[in-house]
């Protein structure tokens, strides 16, 4: 069930109405959220609800087990055991065929006459998101950052909470669980704020991401026959598309969660206004980058080690982050590129100090966007060869020709210019449409304009999945 469809609108209207009708009964509200969330997940494949329930139950049981175990060595064994189970499940569904194909390629290179057959494996929706959510909770309980949950139904409900289940943000038990334990009071301000952010997310998704996707798909599919300028424009359009698609999902998720009285973690802070690659990762997919910081980078030693070890830690984190996104070498290379850029930034940050003025900041912002955009080619391309061909052809086929862009692409770019203009003016706010302090004529003019742009979009009646659903 996609957020940008009529079935979801009907589903959410029913859930919202019943939820607030039960406002005096917190446990019934939570039960409703649990049933609604599993129905939402079952819309794609009901059989994978069993996997979600198993993983959630394992996380709940392990948390209690760790909390009740006094001996540190036993607690560590329990933690390692449950993490191994979660990672084996994730590895089987997401990486088994990738590993087999890589082994078969190695056999071919060394002329070994052996072939391991692939398995027909269907990737469960959101497995990376809910697995990391549960692992993070278990580690936090092990570290005694907070107490384990003793309410089974609240626990599995907060794991499956439908706004954030499919594509994040990757929640933390210490942030989301307490909200399921307390009573939620209806608030008009909360409803309006959530509605604003959800509307902004729908605008990003429908009027920009989905419109640009038609052009991007065509350019990447036919990259061998495109001019350098068209390939460059296609690359820029994908950079905008993935931002509007993923941050659009996040805005919708945070908005509808707030309408239910629940606050989710912030996942984006206008990342394309970053002036360095380090700042970019403080603004992009924040819940994932902080997850790797807290559970991988810091345990490896973080920045409290020698420079060489710190750079190694950064590379490990970003290469693992790349593989988290998918079982393809293109994702691994994309992660390695960002890891190398982070190492370079860390090595040069203290040696090269540029004057801080508007021109310098603008140039740094443009350079950061350009680097991030070129790296996105590996993220989007079907193979490493395709990615290198596209980047090579951008610079060898001439950039002086006008790019070949269709009408939908032009409309998407114009909406994107409007989006970035608004976000620049609102860069000190949480999201672009946070207009609560502005005059009501400005607010309502903005709402009407955005609704018109959404409903005039060529992609309105076409169902486009969110890009991060595949992860």
pLDDT digits (tens, 9 = 90+) for 6-48: 899 999 999 999 999 998 899 999 999 999 999 999 998 899 9
The per-residue pLDDT for 302 is: 86
Is 70 exceeded by the pLDDT of residue 290?
yes
Which range is least confidently modeled, 156-160, 218-222, 352-356, 457-461? 352-356
Residue 463 has pLDDT above 70, yes or no: no
Position 454 pLDDT exceeds 80: yes
Nearest Cα neighbor of 218 from 246, 238, 248, 242 is 238
Mean pLDDT of all residues in 231-244: 95
Q: What is the pLDDT of residues 35-44, one digit of tens each?
A: 999 999 999 8
| Distance (Å, whole) CA 307 – CA 260 | 46
**Distance (Å, whole) CA 144 – CA 126:** 27
Cα–Cα distance, 129 to 150 (Å, whole number): 23
Cα–chain-centroid distance for residue 363? 27
pTM for the full predicted model:
0.92
Residue 138, pLDDT score:
96
pLDDT digits (tens, 9 = 90+) for 51-96: 999 999 999 999 999 999 999 999 999 999 999 999 999 999 988 8
Contact 182, 26 (CB under 8 A): yes
The pLDDT tens digits of the residues spanning 106-125 come to 877 877 777 788 788 888 88
Q: Is residue 102 very low, low, confident or very high in pLDDT (cuts 50, 70, 90)? A: confident
Identify the CA nearest to 33 among candidates 428, 111, 41, 133: 41
**At which residue do the structure tokens 């009740």 appear?**
68
Q: How confident is the model at residue 168 (pLDDT cuts 50, 70, 90)?
A: confident
The average confidence (pLDDT) of the chain is: 90
Q: What mean pLDDT is predicted for residues 171-194?
A: 92
Under the banding of pLDDT at 50, 70 and 90, the label for residue 359 is confident
pLDDT band at 355 (very low <50, low <70, confident <90, very high): low
Range of weakest confidence among 201-205, 389-393, 405-409: 405-409
Which is nearest to 65 in space by CA: 75, 50, 73?
A: 75
| Cβ burial 64-96 (10 Å sphere, 16+ → b, else e) | bbbbebeeeeebeebbeebbeebeebbeebbbe
The model's confidence at residue 356, banded by pLDDT at 50, 70 and 90, is confident
Instruction: Find the catalytic residue in 86, 223, 325, 338.
Output: 325
Percent of the chain with pLDDT over 90: 69
- For residues 377 and 394, the answer to whether their CB atoms sit within 8 Å is no
Active-site residue flag, 325: yes
Assess contact for 202 and 259: CB atoms under 8 A.
no
A 10 A CB-CB count for 48 gives: 18
- ∠ CA 376-248-229, nearest 5°, is 35
Tell me what pLDDT residue 461 has: 67
pLDDT (0 to 100) of residue 196:
94
Average pLDDT over residues 452-462: 80
Alpha carbons within 13 angstroms on the beta-carbon side of residue 463 total 7
In Å, how far are 361, 368, 372, 393 from 356, measured between CA atoms?
7, 16, 22, 35
CA distances from 39 to 12, 151, 157, 159, 395 (A): 12, 21, 12, 14, 49
User: Which of 251, 290, 257, 281 lies closest to 430 in space, CA to CA?
Assistant: 251
173 contacts 158 by C-beta, under 8 angstroms: yes
Q: Report the pLDDT averaged over residues 379-386.
A: 93
Average pLDDT over residues 436-465: 83
């Amino acid at each position: 069930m996609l957020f940008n469809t009529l079935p979801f609108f009907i589903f959410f209207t029913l859930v919202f109405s019943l939820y607030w009708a039960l406002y005096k009964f917190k446990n019934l509200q939570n039960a409703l959220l649990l049933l609604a969330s599993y129905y939402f997940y079952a819309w794609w494949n009901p059989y994978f609800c069993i996997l979600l329930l198993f993983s959630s139950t394992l996380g709940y049981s392990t948390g209690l087990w760790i909390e009740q175990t006094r001996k540190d060595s036993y607690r560590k064994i329990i933690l390692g055991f449950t993490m191994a189970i979660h990672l084996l499940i994730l590895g089987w569904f997401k990486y088994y065929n990738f590993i087999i194909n890589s082994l078969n390629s190695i056999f071919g290179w060394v002329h070994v006459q052996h072939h391991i057959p692939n398995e027909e494996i269907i990737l469960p929706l959101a497995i990376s998101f809910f697995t990391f959510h549960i692992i993070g909770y278990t580690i936090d309980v092990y570290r005694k950052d907070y107490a384990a949950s003793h309410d089974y139904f609240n626990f599995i409900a907060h794991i499956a909470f439908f706004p954030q289940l499919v594509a994040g943000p990757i929640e933390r038990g210490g942030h989301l669980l307490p909200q399921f334990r307390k009573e939620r009071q209806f608030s008009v301000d909360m409803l309006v704020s959530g509605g604003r952010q959800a509307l902004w997310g729908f605008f990003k998704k429908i009027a920009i991401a989905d419109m640009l996707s038609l052009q991007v798909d065509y350019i990447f599919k036919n990259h061998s026959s495109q001019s350098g300028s068209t390939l460059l424009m296609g690359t820029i359009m994908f950079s905008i598309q993935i931002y509007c698609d993923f941050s659009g999902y996040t805005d919708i998720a945070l908005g509808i969660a707030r309408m239910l009285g629940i606050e989710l973690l912030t996942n984006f802070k206008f990342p394309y206004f970053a002036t360095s690659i380090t700042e970019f990762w403080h603004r992009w997919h924040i819940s994932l980058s902080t997850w790797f910081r807290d559970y991988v980078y810091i345990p490896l030693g973080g920045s409290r080690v020698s420079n060489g070890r710190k750079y190694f830690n950064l590379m490990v984190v970003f290469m693992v982050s790349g593989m988290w996104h998918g079982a393809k070498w293109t994702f691994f290379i994309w992660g390695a590129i960002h890891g190398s850029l982070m190492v370079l930034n860390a090595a040069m940050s203290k040696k090269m100090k540029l004057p801080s003025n508007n021109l310098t900041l603008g140039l740094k912002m443009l350079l950061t966007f350009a680097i991030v955009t070129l790296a996105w080619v590996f993220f989007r391309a079907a193979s490493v060869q395709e990615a290198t061909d596209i980047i090579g052809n951008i610079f060898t086929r001439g950039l002086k020709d006008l790019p070949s862009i269709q009408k939908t692409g032009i409309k998407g770019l114009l909406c994107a210019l409007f989006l970035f203009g608004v976000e620049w003016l609102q860069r000190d706010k949480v999201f672009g449409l946070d207009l609560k302090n502005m005059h009501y004529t400005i607010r309502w003019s903005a709402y009407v304009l955005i609704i018109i742009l959404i409903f005039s979009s060529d992609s309105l009646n076409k169902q486009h999945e969110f890009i991060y659903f595949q992860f």
